[in-house]
Amino acid sequence: MAQRCVDGYHVSEAPQNASKQELDTQDGTGEQIALSVRNVYKVFGKRPAEVIKRLKAGKKREELSALGTAAVIDASFDVKKGEIFVVMGLSGSGKSTLIRTLNGLWAPTQGSVVVGGTDISKTSEKELRKVRQEKISMVFQHFALLPHRTVLENAAYALEIQGVAKADRTQRAEKVLSMVGLEGWGAKYPSELSGGMQQRVGLARALCAETDILLMDEAFSALDPLIRREMQEQLVVLQAELGKTIVFITHDLNEAMFLGDRIAVMRDGEIVQIGTPDEILTNPANDYVAAFVQDVDRTRVLTAGGVMEPPLAVVTISGGPRNALRTMRDLQVSAAFVVDRRRKYQGIVRDRDVMAQVEKGATDLAAVVRNGIEPVSPDTALNDLFGRAVESPIPLPVVDDDGRLVGALPRVTLLAALGNVPSTTGEFPVVEVAVAPIPEQVVTAALAQSEGATK
Amino acid sequence: MIENFRIPLGDWVEVGLEWITTSFEGFFNFIRTVLIGAYDGLDWVLNAPPFWAVILVFAAIAWWASGWKLGLGTVVGFTVIVGVDQWDNAMESLALVVIATVVAVAISVPLGIWAASSLRVSAIVRPIMDFMQTMPAMVYLVPALVMFRVGIVPGIVATIVFAMAPGVRFTELGIRGVDKEVVEAGHAFGSTPGRILRQIQLPLARPTIMAGVNQVIMLSLSMVVIAGMVGAGGLGRDVVASLTRLDAGLGFEAGIAVVILAIFLDRVTASFGRDRTLAGAKAA
C-alpha cells in the first residue's frame, strides 16, 4: 500500500546516471541543448600540443609544468536551455579559463564549443563577434563597467555594439535597469554606485543584449555577503522570468548549491563531478568533493523531496473507519495520513477518533479527518521545515503539485539528513509515536465488538 | 696590438649618413618645407597679434583647463616675459615646442599603441626608445644639420627625436594598464578591436598618455636651448649668445622665460589628464 518509489528524488547509487534519468523524467524528452562543450583542453605555455598528448597518455599536469600549464583538461558537458549550470572550484581550478572558452575569449587548445549551433572554436573572428552579440553575453567578477560612461550608457553598451539606434537602445536599457532595481540611476557614473549596484549594472548590460545565454564569472564574489544573497535571489527570480540559460562560475559552494540546477565541480583543471546539488551533497564522487561539501549548509540545499520517507501509515477515505483502525493497529501508530482514491492528501486521523467512530458503528471516516497540518511541497528546503516539524506532533506530509501524497518527513529524517547518515526507510512505521497509540488489545476488542454489533 | 684595436664606428656612421642624405634628398627637402611652413605659420599667429591679446588667450586657456589661479599666474608670468624683452623669442620657442610636440605625439602614440598590442613590437621598440632618449641630445644636431641645413628645421627634428620616447613608453604603459576585464567585456559583447581601442583602451589610458604628452613637452622645452646652437632662433639663441659673450644677465632673462613657458605648458597639459574619468577609473 505504501508507494515505494518516490519519483526521481530517491538517493541512488550511481549519481551520474541518476542525474540523467532524473532530468529526463523531469523535463520530458524534448529538452534543447544551449551550449555544448566537448573534450575541451586549454593549455598555456610553450608547447601546448605536447602537453595534451602527454595528458592523454596519463601524465599528471604537475609533471608537465615545464612544457606548459594545463588550465582546462578534457572538459565535456552540455548546458540545457533555461538551466543554471554552475561550475564550482577553488582558485586555480581552471573555472575562469573554462568560462572564457565558452564565448571564445580564450580559444580552446583542443576540443569544440558549440553555442546555439555554431562551433566557436572553428569560426572566424567576424562570426565569433556575431555569436557574442546575439547569443552569449557575460557578467564579470569586478563588474568591468566603462568608468567614463554613465550607468545608462553602460547598460546600453551591448546594444550600441549591435548597432541599435540611440533612442531605441536608451529605452531598452532603461527598461532593463528598472528590472534590476536601478530605476533613476541611469545618469550616474559607475564610481558613484556601491559594489552591489555596480554589479546590477553589469547584469543589466548583459540582460540588455537579449542573448539566450548568460555567462557569469564569479559575478557575486566581490560583494558583501548580504548583498550577495540578495543578488542570488534576484538572479533566480530573473531567470525564472526571462528563461535565460546561465553558466555561473563560483568558488562558493553555498552559492553553487543555491543557484545551480546542476553543478560541475572542478579540480586542477578537470571536472570531477557533474550533478544536481542533492547528488553532489549526498553522493560525492570522490574524497575531494566530499571534503568540499562538508562545510555546506545542507539545510538550504536538501529539499523535502530529497530526504522524505515513503509514507506507510496511509489510509483511504473510502476504506472507512474500521480499515483505518486496523491499519493503525498493525503499524502500532496513533495517527495516519488520509488520502482519497486518487491518492490526494486529505488530512490525518487519530486512532482515538477513529475508534470512537468504530464504537459508534459509524462508517464515515471523513467526519474525523483533521486538517491541522499543512502539507509541504517536495521543493521546500529543509531550512524552512524545522519550525513546522517542531510544531507538528506527527511527520509532515509531502504532497506534489497535483495534491498527491508522495512522502512523509519525520523529525528523525530531518536530523539524519543534517548528519548525512542514511535514515531508516521502509521497515519502520513512518508515523512517529508522538502520542502513545491505544494498546493493541483494546483496539482489537473494539474491532471485534463493532463486528459483533454490525452482525 | 691593443693600440691598433679600433672600431671604426664613427666612419660607418658618416658613410651611412652621407648615403642617406644623398639618397633621400627629396624626402628631406619635403620634410623641411613642411616643417618650415608649419613653424612660420604658427610663429606668425603667435607674434603678429599684440602681446596682450595673446596673453589673454593663454590666460583663458589656463583658466578653462585648471582654474582662475593658473589663469592669473599665466598673466603675471607672460607679463614678466614681456618685461624682460623676451616676448618675440619666447613665441618663437613656443612655436618650435608646439610643432615638435605635435609631430612627436603623432608618431609616438600610434607607436605606443602598436607596442601595447604585441610583445614582439614592444621588445623592438623599447631599446630604440632607450637609445633615443639617453643619447646626448646635442649628438642629434649634427646629422640633423647635415640633412636639413642650418635653421629652424634641424632644431625641430632633433627635438622630435629626443622628446618622442616618453610618448611611446607612457602610451604603451597606459594601454597595458587598462583593466583587463573591461577590455574583455568589450570583446565579450562583440566589439571590434578598433572600437575597443577607441571606446575603452584610449579613454581609460588617457591620464597616462597625457602624462606622456606632458613629458614630451617638457623634453621639447629642454631641447629649445640646445636647438639654438644650430640657428633655431627663439630663446635658445639668446642663451647661446649669453654663453659666448659671458653675458649672465641676458642668459638669466632668456632662462627665466624658458622656465615660465615650462610651468605654463606643464600645468595646462597636466590638468588635461586629470578629471572625473580618472576618479572613475580608480574606483572601478
Query: Over 90: is that where the pLDDT of A312 sits?
Result: no
Sign of CA dihedral A376, A382, A387, A390: positive
Residues 6+ apart with CB under 8 A from B24: none
Q: Which residues of B touch A129 (CB under 8 A)?
A: 190-192
Q: What is the pLDDT of residue B232?
A: 81
Q: In 3-state terms, what secondary structure has residue A84?
A: strand
**Do B181 and A144 make contact, defined as CB atoms within 8 angstroms?**
yes
Q: Residue-wise pLDDT tens for chain B (284 aa)?
A: 567 788 888 889 889 888 888 888 888 889 999 999 999 999 999 988 999 999 999 999 999 988 899 999 999 999 999 999 999 999 999 999 999 999 999 999 999 999 999 999 999 999 998 888 888 878 888 888 888 888 888 888 888 988 899 999 999 999 999 999 999 999 999 999 999 999 999 999 999 999 999 999 999 998 888 888 887 888 888 888 888 888 889 989 999 999 999 999 999 988 887 754 444 444 33
What stretches of A209-252 show up as alpha helix (H) in DSSP? Answer: 225-242
Name the CA dihedral angle for B61, B67, B72, B78, rounded to a multiple of 10 degrees: -40
Q: Which of B185, B190, B280 sits opposite A144 (nearest CB)?
A: B185
Amino acid making up residue A350: R
Q: Smallest CA–CA separation between B283 and chain A, in Å?
A: 5
Q: What is the pLDDT of residues B10-64, one digit of tens each?
A: 889 889 888 888 888 888 889 999 999 999 999 999 988 999 999 999 999 999 9
Q: Give, in order, the Cα–Cα distances in Å from A91 to each of A223, A268, A342.
A: 17, 9, 52
Question: Which DSSP helix (H) or strand (E) runs through B174?
Answer: helix B152-176
Q: What is the pLDDT of residue A77?
A: 94
Q: Which of A132, A137, A147 sits opposite B281 (nearest CB)?
A: A147
Distance in angstroms (rounded) separating the CA atoms of residues B187 and B195: 10
Distance in angstroms (rounded) separating the CA atoms of residues A180 and A195: 14
Q: What is the pLDDT of residue B1?
A: 58
Residue for grid cell 641645413: B149
Q: What is the pLDDT of residue B200?
A: 94
**A111 C-beta neighbours (distance < 10 Å), count:** 18
Q: Smallest CA–CA separation between B188 and chain A, in Å?
A: 6
**Do B185 and A130 make contact, defined as CB atoms within 8 angstroms?**
no
Residues 6+ apart with CB under 8 A from B165: B108, B129, B130, B132, B133
Name the CA dihedral angle for B144, B147, B149, B152, rounded to a multiple of 10 degrees: -50
All 3 cell numbers of residue B158?
632633433
All 3 cell numbers of residue B86?
623676451
Q: In 3-state terms, what secondary structure has residue B233?
A: coil
Q: Which of A103, A131, A142 sits opposite B181 (nearest CB)?
A: A142
All 3 cell numbers of residue A32?
534543447
Supply φ then ψ for residue A41, to 5 degrees: -120, 140
Q: Which residues of A touch B191 (CB under 8 A)?
A: 129, 161
Distance in angstroms (rounded) separating the CA atoms of residues A146 and A161: 14
**Do A140 and B284 make contact, defined as CB atoms within 8 angstroms?**
no
**Do B189 and A137 make contact, defined as CB atoms within 8 angstroms?**
yes
All 3 cell numbers of residue A401?
503539485
Exposed / middle / buried, residue A76 (Cβ in 10 Å: 0-12, 13-18, 19+): middle
Q: What is the pLDDT of residues A256-272, one digit of tens each?
A: 888 999 999 999 899 99
Q: Smallest CA–CA separation between B52 and chain A, in Å?
A: 38
| A86-125 residues touching B, CB cutoff 8 A | 100, 103, 105
Q: What is the pLDDT of residues A161-205, one digit of tens each?
A: 999 999 999 999 999 999 888 988 999 999 999 988 999 999 999
The tally of CA atoms less than 13 A away on the side-chain side of residue A169 is 21
Amino acid making up residue B196: I
Exposed / middle / buried, residue A345 (Cβ in 10 Å: 0-12, 13-18, 19+): buried
Q: What is the pLDDT of residue A24?
A: 36
Q: Which residues of B touch A190 (CB under 8 A)?
A: 280, 283-284
A327-352: average pLDDT: 86
Q: Is the separation of the CB atoms in B185 and A208 below 8 Å?
A: no
Q: Residue A140's closest chain B neighbor by CA? A: B181
Query: Over 50: is that where the pLDDT of A428 sits?
Result: no
Instruction: Give percent of chain B above pLDDT 70.
Output: 95
Measuring CA to CA, which residue among A125, A79, A81, A69 is closest to residue A102? A79
Distance in angstroms (rounded) separating the CA atoms of residues A222 and A206: 18
Q: Which residues of A touch B282 (CB under 8 A)?
A: 191
Q: Is the separation of the CB atoms in A145 and A201 below 8 Å?
A: yes
Q: Which residues of B touch A135 (CB under 8 A)?
A: none
Q: Which of A137, A138, A147 sits opposite B284 (nearest CB)?
A: A147
Q: What is the pLDDT of residue A444?
A: 83
Name the CA dihedral angle for A41, A45, A46, A47, rounded to a multiple of 10 degrees: -20
Contacts of the segment B84-87: beta carbons below 8 A, 24+ positions apart:
B84/B253, B84/B256, B84/B257, B85/B253, B86/B235, B86/B238, B86/B253, B86/B254, B86/B257, B87/B51
Query: Over 60: is that where the pLDDT of A5 sits?
Result: no
Exposed / middle / buried, residue A183 (Cβ in 10 Å: 0-12, 13-18, 19+): exposed
**Do A148 and B187 make contact, defined as CB atoms within 8 angstroms?**
no
| B68-107 residues touching A, CB cutoff 8 A | none
> Is the Cβ of B194 closer than 8 Å to some Cβ of chain A?
no
**Do B280 and A130 make contact, defined as CB atoms within 8 angstroms?**
no
Q: Give, in order, the Cα–Cα distances in Å from B206 to each of A145, B154, B167.
A: 17, 31, 12
A108-135: average pLDDT: 90
Distance in angstroms (rounded) separating the CA atoms of residues B149 and B156: 12
All 3 cell numbers of residue A95?
573555472
Q: Residue A209's closest chain B neighbor by CA? A: B189
Query: Over 60: is that where the pLDDT of A12 sits?
Result: no
Q: Give, in order, the Cα–Cα distances in Å from A15 to each of A23, A208, A281, B186.
A: 12, 37, 10, 40
Length of chain B: 284
Q: Residue A99's closest chain B neighbor by CA? A: B188
**A4 C-beta neighbours (distance < 10 Å), count:** 8
**Do A105 and B187 make contact, defined as CB atoms within 8 angstroms?**
yes
Q: Which of B190, B276, B282 sits opposite A161 (nearest CB)?
A: B190
**B175 C-beta neighbours (distance < 10 Å), count:** 24
**Do A144 and B282 make contact, defined as CB atoms within 8 angstroms?**
no
Q: How far is CA B211 from the centre of its chain?
A: 12
Residues 6+ apart with CB under 8 A from A112: A36, A37, A38, A39, A40, A119, A121, A122
Distance in angstroms (rounded) separating the CA atoms of residues A237 and A242: 9
Supply φ then ψ for residue A422, to 5 degrees: -65, 125
Mutate to test the interface with A, among B178, B181, B183, B189 (most CBs of A within 10 A): B189
**Do A105 and B195 make contact, defined as CB atoms within 8 angstroms?**
no
Residues 6+ apart with CB under 8 A from A183: A174, A177
Amino acid making up residue B208: T
Q: Which residues of A touch B281 (CB under 8 A)?
A: 147-148
Cβ-count burial B244-266 (b if 16+ within 10 Å, e if not): eeeeeebbebbbbbbebbbebbe
Distance in angstroms (rounded) separating the CA atoms of residues A444 and A448: 6
Distance in angstroms (rounded) separating the CA atoms of residues B271 and A75: 51
All 3 cell numbers of residue A72?
582546462
Q: What is the pLDDT of residue B179?
A: 92
Distance in angstroms (rounded) separating the CA atoms of residues A148 and B278: 8
Q: What is the pLDDT of residue B178?
A: 93
Please give the order of strands across the beta sheet that includes A314-316: A314-316, A335-339, A345-350
Q: Which residue has the higher pLDDT, A424 or B179?
A: B179
> Is the Cβ of A161 closer than 8 Å to some Cβ of chain B?
yes
Q: Which of B189, B280, B282 sits opposite A148 (nearest CB)?
A: B280
> Is the Cβ of B284 closer than 8 Å to some Cβ of chain A?
yes
Q: Residue B283's closest chain A neighbor by CA? A: A191
> Is the Cβ of A418 closer than 8 Å to some Cβ of chain B?
no
Query: Over 80: is that where the pLDDT of A2 sits?
Result: no
Q: What is the pLDDT of residues A364-404, one digit of tens each?
A: 888 888 887 888 888 888 888 888 888 887 888 998 888 88
Q: What is the largest CA-CA distance in chain A?
A: 94
**B154 C-beta neighbours (distance < 10 Å), count:** 26
Q: Which residues pair with A219 in a beta bridge?
A: none
A294-307: average pLDDT: 79
Mean pLDDT of chain A: 83
A308 secondary structure, DSSP code: P
Mutate to test the interface with B, among A126, A143, A161, A215 (most CBs of B within 10 A): A161
Number of H helices, E strands in chain A: 19, 15
Q: What is the ipTM of this complex?
A: 0.76
Q: Which residues of B touch A105 (CB under 8 A)?
A: 184, 187-188
**Do B191 and A161 make contact, defined as CB atoms within 8 angstroms?**
yes
A101-113: average pLDDT: 92
Exposed / middle / buried, residue A319 (Cβ in 10 Å: 0-12, 13-18, 19+): middle
Q: What is the pLDDT of residue B192?
A: 93
Distance in angstroms (rounded) separating the CA atoms of residues A194 and A198: 6
**Terminal CA-CA length for chain A:** 28
Q: Is the separation of the CB atoms in A150 and A134 below 8 Å?
A: no
Q: In 3-state terms, what secondary structure has residue A120?
A: coil
> Is the Cβ of B199 closer than 8 Å to some Cβ of chain A?
yes
